[in-house]
A and B are shown apart, each in its own frame.
Chain A
């Protein structure tokens, strides 16, 4: 039991920040991101024995978090999608406010989720194509195409060539 506790503590300390950032860009809301990470680790504790290889912990936890996020939409009471970030000023205080960063952040929010999510995993968490394909249960080429398009869309948006009009976008800041 003590071994399990120590193992769990190591996982939390190593991955909670990464997971929080990923959760934030998944749901776009600070409180929900915290809840998602808490739920992820509670579930991880329950199934910790199934994690045989510590090297795959990051991918394992990310997969759990994605599933928790999917459950969030199944459980109507946790529907935070309608929450406007304007009502949550504390979310803004933590941000870098340089114009190029704000512009990019808004562009990321407008990026459809199917492009945004793999890009966050690749750029922020350092997952490679195979790992992202495994997390999404998608063919590698599909993930490669989505990443290709994500960067193209961002570049075009930032250069003014193409206005991003997201369908699944997060609230603007």
Chain B
């Protein structure tokens, strides 16, 4: 370190210890004097800057804190708004997480009858049996490959419960007369994927196992097909 570097260094940072700077200072009288000059200057600067602090200032700050109305009112407001926000968010999350009434009833029903849909032993039921079940919803159908048809209770109301097996894909179709959703909605759970849509006979639910990739890939077209293939008796 040379004299210029030392002086530049000390002008910006007089208090740090740097072995190179200390070594240079020990060998250079001029820089030693320079450093003393900086230390003296800083000492005077420190005195000049040390303005008197008002008496009892810390106590005043603490008193101001305890008496500060603006420090309390916002706190109450913040707590109130936080509480309201918390409940609002909680309600939204609850509503988001809670299945819609129909969705919940549907899932509760199909989750308890998995054996109805598994296995390859199912054979297509007779058209007579199918029409008898569909009568529950005042509906008729020309659907084929219906391997299961039963009258079930969804949320206490009778509904037609069908299982349709086309090649590799299997669909559960529910026709629920006592529900009429205003628009389509999706079902997407760990076990099930599906659509629920308004139908002239009530609500039509088309579900497939989430693990049934063939069925899932054709779910939308299957739903459209079932919409067209199930119709009110009076319309035929």
Contacts and interface: CB of A to CB of B under 8 A. Distances in A.
A119 to B, nearest CB: 7
Interface string B44-65: 1111111111100110111011
A124 B46 CA distance: 6
Contact of A45 (B15, B60, B71): B71
A30 B38 CA distance: 29
B61 A123 contact: no
A108 B57 CA distance: 24
Given A24-B51, A95-B52, A123 B13 contact: no
Contacts of B41: 151, 154-155, 158
A42 B38 contact: no
B16 interface: yes
Contacts of B11: 147-148, 151-152
A137 interface: no
A94 B51 contact: yes
A interface bracket (residues with beta carbon within 8 Å of B) = 35 or more
Nearest to A90: B54
A43 B145 CA distance: 72
Interface string A76-117: 000000000000000000111000110011001000000000
A141 to B, nearest CB: 9
Contacts of A37: 57, 61
A66 interface: no
Given A144-B13, A148-B11, A151-B38, A104 B68 contact: no
B42 interface: yes
Given A20-B57, A42-B65, A100-B44, A124 B49 contact: yes
Contacts of A119: 45
Interface in B1-28: 8, 11-13, 15-16
Contact of A42 (B15, B52, B68): B68
Contacts of A145: 12
Contacts of A151: 11-12, 38, 41-42
Given A12-B61, A20-B57, A128-B16, 15 more contacts: A21-B50, A34-B57, A38-B60, A38-B61, A42-B65, A46-B71, A96-B47, A104-B44, A119-B45, A143-B12, A144-B12, A144-B13, A147-B13, A155-B37, A155-B41
Interface of B: 8, 11-13, 15-16, 37-38, 41-42, 44-54, 57-58, 60-62, 64-65, 68, 70-71
9 shortest interchain CB distances as A-B pairs = A94-B52, A144-B12, A148-B12, A104-B48, A148-B11, A147-B12, A17-B53, A16-B58, A105-B48
